[in-house]
Copies of this chain bind each other. A is one copy, B any other.
Amino acid sequence: MSEAAFIKALLAPLTLGLPEADNLLNDAAVLPAQSQAHYVVTTDTLAAGVHFIGNEEPRYLAQKALRVNLSDLAAMGATPLYYLLNLSLPHTLAEQPAWLENFVQGLKLDQRFFGISLLGGDTITTSSPLQIGITAIGTVDGGNTLLRRTAKAGDALYVSGTIGDACVGMQELKQQSNPQTRAAMRYLLPDPRLELGRALVGLANAAMDVSDGLLLDVQRLASASGLQAVINVDSIPIAEDVAAGGSTWKSLAVAGDDYELLWAMPHDLAPALHRKVAGLDTKLTHIGYLETGEGLRLVDKQGQAVALPSTLGYQHL
C-alpha cells in the first residue's frame, strides 16, 4: 500500500468529513474558535517492548494508544474531541495491508465509542519496532480544569476502579497469546474515566490519572501540591480475581498501566460525588489523605506505619 493510498483509503475516512481535518489534504488542521470553552491538549507515545508486548492484535494497540491519552483528558475533566496520529511503522508492518487495516479498525471502533475523530498526523517507516504517538484534544467549559497542584491539606485521597489488574494481565499475555481473562483485557483496553473526570470538576481539589504505579502517582500529586500523602495500604482496591491469584498491594500499587483516576477532595463531598456518578459502574475508593509535609507515608488499617517499597512505580529515565 502506498503512502497516498494509506492516507486516502484508510486514514481520511477517520476524519468523518469534519471541515477542520479537510480530508487530511493540508499541512495542518484548523480548530474552530471557541469563545467560552478551552481546548485541552495531551500527547503520549507507546512503544513496542515498553508499553505493549508486541504480539497484541493491531486494533488493540490502536485502541490502547488512544485510550491512554483519553485518560489524560479525563484527569483534567475534559471531553475528548479529536486526535492526531504519529505512526512510526517498522518496514515489515508497513508492507502488510491486513495489519494496517486491523489497526485502523481499532481506531474506528474507539472513535465511535468515544465520539472523537482524526484530525491529522504523520506516518513514517523505520527499522525500529512500532511506536504509536497520539495527541488528543478535548474541551472544558470555561477553563474549569482539574489540576494536580491544587490539593489541600486535609483532603481525602480517592482512586477509581481496581489497582494492578493490568500488571497481572500483562503477565498472563506474556505467558499465553490469548488468555481472555478480565485482567488481560484490562491491560489491552484501559477504560479512560471520562465521565468520572467530568463529575469531579467542582468537587475535587486536584486530580491526575494513575499510569506509572499508584504509589508513585500519589507521591507526584502530593508533591505538586506541596503536601504529604498518607496511604492506607489495606484500603487499596484490589480485584477479587487478582487477589485470588496471590498478588498483594506491594506489587500491584507500584505497577503501571492502571489508567484510573486519583483525586483529592474534602471527605464530606463524597456523598455528592456518589450521587453525581450514580449511573456509572465505577468503584470509588477512599485510600488515604493529604497533610502538611512532603513525601509519602504508608499505614495499615490499624494505623501502624508500613515501610515504603524500594520502587514506587515506573520511571522512564
Residue ranges of A at the interface with B (Cβ–Cβ < 8 Å): 1-4, 6, 22, 25-45, 47, 49-51, 71-73, 75-76, 78, 84, 86, 88-89, 94, 119-129, 131, 133, 135-138, 140, 143, 145, 147-149, 208-209, 224, 315-317
Contact = CB atoms under 8 A, between A and B. Distances in A.
A39 B33 CA distance: 7
B133 A25 contact: no
Given A4-B315, A47-B88, A125-B317, A25 B75 contact: no
A128 B86 CA distance: 16
Among A73, A75, A133, A140, which residue has the most Cβ atoms of chain B within 10 A?
Answer: A133
Given A86-B45, A124-B316, A125-B317, A30 B143 contact: yes
Given A86-B133, A147-B26, A33 B36 contact: yes
Contact of A149 (B6, B25, B147): B25
Contacts of A145: 26, 30
Nearest to A126: B47
Contact of A28 (B42, B125, B128): B42
Given A2-B317, A129-B128, A147-B25, A41 B31 contact: yes
A2 B316 CA distance: 8
Contacts of A39: 30-31, 39
9 contacts: A27-B71, A27-B76, A32-B38, A45-B124, A50-B124, A86-B133, A126-B128, A126-B129, A128-B129
A298 B226 CA distance: 66
A25 B76 contact: no
Given A30-B145, A32-B143, A33-B143, 9 more contacts: A3-B316, A26-B208, A29-B40, A42-B120, A43-B84, A44-B86, A49-B127, A50-B125, A126-B129
A75 to B, nearest CB: 4
Contacts of A1: 317
B26 A76 contact: yes
B43 A86 contact: yes
Nearest to A137: B41
A126 B72 contact: no
Contact of A41 (B36, B88, B120, B133): B120
A278 to B, nearest CB: 26
A66 to B, nearest CB: 14
B127 A2 contact: no
B125 A316 contact: yes
A131 B126 CA distance: 10
Given A34-B33, A315-B3, A317-B3, A28 B76 contact: yes
Contacts of A122: 43-45, 133
A42 B25 contact: no
Contacts of A86: 43-45, 86, 133
B25 A41 contact: no
A-B CB proximity, top 7 nearest: A128-B128, A28-B42, A27-B72, A35-B35, A3-B317, A27-B75, A31-B39
